[in-house]
């Protein structure tokens, strides 16, 4: 029981600001990497899709 109390007190009193910033930086980097890989993998298909949609809704002037 003393172990649990000591653990909870240590979790509530320690300063994690630096670690949190690093963790957020890693998450942002991972998200950016996923976006880049997704754009590279599906870029041509998305371009073709938008071109097809544009051709269907394009109104001549």
Residues 19-53: tens digit of each pLDDT: 788 889 899 999 999 999 998 998 889 889 988 99
How high is the pLDDT of residue 16?
60
State pTM to two decimals: 0.49
Locus of tokens 């172990």: 3
Measured distance CA(7)–CA(28) in Å, rounded: 30
**Residue 10 pLDDT greater than 70, yes or no:** yes
How high is the pLDDT of residue 17?
63
Tokens of 49: 């899709």
How high is the pLDDT of residue 28?
94
């Amino acid at each position: 029981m003393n172990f649990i109390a000591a653990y909870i007190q240590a979790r509530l009193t320690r300063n994690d600001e630096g670690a949190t910033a690093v963790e957020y930086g890693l998450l942002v980097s991972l998200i950016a990497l996923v976006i880049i890989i997704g754009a590279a993998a599906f870029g041509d298909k998305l371009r073709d899709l938008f071109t097809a949609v544009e051709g269907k809704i394009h109104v001549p002037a």
